[in-house]
Amino acid sequence: MATAEQPNRALTEISASNSSEEDNRSDDDMDCVFASPVEEIMTTQSAASFWWSQHRQLFREMFAECIGTFIIVQFGCSAAMSAIYDGALVGLFQIASVWIIAVMVAIEATASVSGAHLNPAITIAFALLRPHTSGPFNRSKVLPYIGSQVTGAFLAAGVNYLLYKEKIGDFEAAHDIVRGTPESIASAKTFGEYYL
């Protein structure tokens, strides 16, 4: 007569024999048994998501630096262009006021993400004076930050050129300026904020 303990004992013996067989298999056998295209895709996706999780913050910071520098250069240099090509702003005080507003907006927009360096000189100074490898800014971010800042400045200069292309041409024609000559500094100075 079978008792209730016999089926449990039989199950225990079967699971023990299976586990001893599994222990005898090598790791290579286990990979062959369980490897599939779906698992390979999942492993690749996890590697990509792991890479993204490690670099996402740096990309956010780089984007913030690019946008912040774009805001400063676009609004600031546009103020000089408006003064020189349109006569819209009169005097250094009005142009400086636009620059102040542009810098304040850029800092407010990016400070919480990247620290609002917004200038390669500030980034280099932070790297030299605050060399924290585990802190919020370390030296490994210097080149990405500077690249983002330069990119933002060039994009802003391109937008300003597109906005004022006709006005620049009219200004150069009115003052007999040929691009590339020393006299062309009069029209090029708005891109470098050489207002005086």
What does the pLDDT look like over 57-74, one tens digit per residue?
Answer: 889 999 999 999 999 999
- Spatial distance between the Cα atoms of 120 and 59, rounded to a whole number of angstroms: 17
Residue 2: per-residue pLDDT = 52
- Spatial distance between the Cα atoms of 131 and 137, rounded to a whole number of angstroms: 8
- The model's pLDDT over 40-57, given as tens digits with 9 standing for 90+, comes to 555 666 766 776 777 888
Domain boundaries, the chain: 57-192
Residues of the chain with pLDDT under 50: 30, 196
CATH topology of domain 57-192: Glycerol uptake facilitator protein (1.20.1080)
Question: Do the beta carbons of residue 152 and residue 66 sit within 8 Å?
Answer: yes
Question: Do the beta carbons of residue 89 and residue 97 sit within 8 Å?
Answer: no
The pTM (predicted TM-score) of the whole model is 0.70
User: Which distant-in-sequence residues (6+ apart) come within 8 Å of 67 by Cβ?
Assistant: 106, 109, 110, 152
DSSP letter (8 states) at residue 4: T
CA neighbor of 156 nearest in space, from 54, 57, 47, 79 = 79
Residue 160: per-residue pLDDT = 95
Residue 130: per-residue pLDDT = 74
Task: Output the six-digit token pair for 29.
Answer: 């056998």
